[in-house]
């Protein structure tokens, strides 16, 4: 058991026009077994609806900030991962307004940091299906169940999760003031792409904790994450998939040959070999997958990957992000040298 209150946790909470959900999220902080925390709420609503929830709870640990000018979803979320430390806190996490954390979230994550000598933890989350409706209910398992197993991951191993799925979920991250990972992206992109980019930004050992102690809301039809984007859904999806494809190809290019051969059966990941093979086929990185995939599936997936390669677009901001993180990885002892050409691969 970690000594209570031996360390300040700084929670960052972005919100937009969901005062009822925000009040639930903030109430989950008040219910924490670890009482030494402070929360900054960043309200992106010009009408300041988030102030209602903050005032109703009247907890001095919760501070309200109205974003002026409006940041919109991606920048409002991204600012919550800043390395700035105005409260001189020891630990940090992000609880978005529609999510929540279970009572021992802070305490058990701090214990994992200390017991495993790590500065960053990725915690599993329950899924709240039909969130915000009278049909809302929690999943039996967590969002990471199909991807990771419990334990300590090297940054190289952790980044391989991009070859299977999204890797990081914002609400599952918990980190200390001493982390060297640059979790704030600081380049223009969608909030969804940010999570892939945060996975790519992990440059030190990370502990993956499989017991769900947080809740992620499944509410795609209600989300405002892409409200600031003017492009069509098809264009957004193509560009997202193209950017993810680039990250996957970089991760693959940095793996030694023996680790590539072992990837389909690597016990660090929970996904079955066929699921891993499907992603590799779409990423256009591994030949000889036909034996893992039924019928002409490998060919169809490669065709889909070629369409993404041809039609998807990369932004200059994304390319600058990739280069910045490759340089950081190369500065890590034993890290590979940055390879700008692979961004265009």
In a shared domain, residues 239 and 93:
no
Q: CA-CA distance, 51 to 64, in Å (whole number)?
A: 7
pLDDT tens for each residue of 247-300: 999 999 999 999 999 999 999 999 999 999 999 999 999 877 767 888 789 899
**More confident of the two residues 199 and 293:** 199
Residue 112 domain-assigned (yes or no): yes
In a shared domain, residues 79 and 140:
yes
Cα–Cα nearest to 106, from 28, 205, 167, 207 = 28
Beta pairing, strands 37-43 & 9-15: parallel
pTM: 0.93
- Judged on CB neighbours under 10 Å (0-12, 13-18, 19+), 57 is middle
Residue 101 domain-assigned (yes or no): yes
Residue 3 domain-assigned (yes or no): no
Domain boundary among 185, 217, 249: 217
In a shared domain, residues 206 and 242:
no
Residue 224 domain-assigned (yes or no): no
Residue 4 domain-assigned (yes or no): no
Residue 90 domain-assigned (yes or no): yes
pLDDT tens for each residue of 51-66: 999 999 999 999 999 9
> What's the structural domain count of the chain?
2
In a shared domain, residues 43 and 183:
yes
Cβ-Cβ contacts under 8 Å for 31 (sequence gap 6 or more):
103
In a shared domain, residues 59 and 198:
yes
Residue 225 domain-assigned (yes or no): no
Instruction: Kindly provide the residue ranges of all beta strands, DSSP E only, lying in 71-193, ordered along the sequence.
Output: 91-94, 100-101, 120-123, 126-129, 137-142, 151-153, 173-176
Beta pairing, strands 173-176 & 91-94: antiparallel
Averaged pLDDT for residues 75-96: 98
Q: Are 259 and 251 in contact (CB under 8 A)?
A: no
Distance set, CA 14 to CA 29, 34, 39, 171, 212 (Å): 14, 21, 10, 11, 22
In a shared domain, residues 176 and 253:
no
pLDDT at 345 (0 to 100): 52
Averaged pLDDT for residues 212-231: 71
Query: What backbone phi and psi angles, to 5 degrees, belong to 258?
Result: -65, -30
pLDDT at 333 (0 to 100): 55
In a shared domain, residues 63 and 197:
yes
In a shared domain, residues 41 and 147:
yes
In a shared domain, residues 40 and 169:
yes
User: In what helix (H) or strand (E) does residue 37 lie, and over which residues does it extend?
Assistant: strand 37-43
Q: CA-CA distance, 106 to 205, in Å (whole number)?
A: 19
User: In what helix (H) or strand (E) does residue 276 lie, and over which residues does it extend?
Assistant: helix 273-283
CATH code for the domain in which residue 42 is found = 3.90.550.10
In a shared domain, residues 113 and 195:
yes
Residue 277 is part of which domain span?
A: 233-344
Q: Are 90 and 9 in contact (CB under 8 A)?
A: yes
Residue 242 domain-assigned (yes or no): yes
Domain boundary among 158, 192, 217: 217
Q: State the helix-helix crossing angle for 233-253 and 273-283, rounded to 10 degrees.
A: 100
Is the backbone peptide bond immediately before 215 cis, with ω within 30 degrees of 0?
no
pLDDT at 295 (0 to 100): 75
In a shared domain, residues 90 and 15:
yes
pLDDT tens for each residue of 103-133: 999 999 999 999 999 999 999 999 999 998 9
In a shared domain, residues 149 and 260:
no
Mean predicted lDDT score pLDDT of the chain: 92
Q: CA-CA distance, 170 to 32, in Å (whole number)?
A: 19
């Amino acid at each position: 058991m970690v000594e209570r209150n031996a360390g300040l946790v700084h929670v960052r909470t972005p919100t937009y026009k969901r005062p009822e959900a925000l009040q639930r999220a903030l109430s989950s902080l008040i219910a924490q077994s670890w009482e030494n925390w402070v929360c900054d709420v960043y309200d992106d609503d010009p009408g300041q609806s988030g102030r209602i929830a903050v005032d109703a709870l009247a907890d001095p640990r919760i501070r309200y900030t109205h974003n002026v000018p409006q940041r919109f979803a991606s920048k409002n979320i991204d600012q919550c991962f800043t390395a700035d430390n105005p409260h001189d806190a020891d630990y940090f996490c992000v609880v978005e307004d529609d999510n929540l954390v279970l009572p021992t979230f802070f305490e058990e994550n701090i214990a994992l940091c200390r017991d495993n000598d790590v500065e960053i933890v990725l915690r599993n989350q329950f899924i709240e299906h039909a969130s915000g409706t009278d049909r809302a209910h929690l999943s039996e398992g967590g969002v990471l169940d199909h991807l990771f197993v419990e334990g300590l991951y090297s940054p190289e191993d952790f980044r391989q999760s991009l070859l299977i799925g999204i890797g990081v979920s914002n609400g599952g991250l918990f980190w200390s003031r001493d982390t060297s990972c640059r979790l704030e992206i600081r380049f223009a992109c969608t909030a969804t792409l940010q999570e892939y980019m945060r996975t790519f930004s992990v440059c030190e050992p990370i502990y993956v904790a499989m017991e769900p102690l947080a809740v992620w809301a499944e509410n795609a039809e209600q989300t405002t994450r892409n409200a600031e984007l003017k492009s069509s859904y098809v264009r957004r999806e193509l560009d997202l998939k193209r950017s993810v494809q680039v990250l996957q190809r970089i991760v693959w290019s940095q793996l030694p040959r023996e680790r590539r051969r072992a990837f389909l059966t690597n016990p660090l990941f929970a996904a079955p070999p066929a699921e891993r093979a499907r992603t590799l086929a779409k990423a256009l990185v591994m030949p000889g997958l036909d034996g893992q995939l039924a019928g002409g599936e490998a060919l169809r997936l490669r065709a889909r990957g070629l369409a993404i390669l041809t039609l998807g677009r990369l932004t200059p901001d994304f390319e600058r992000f990739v280069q910045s993180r490759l340089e950081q990885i190369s500065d890590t002892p034993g890290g590979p040298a940055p390879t700008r050409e692979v961004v265009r691969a």
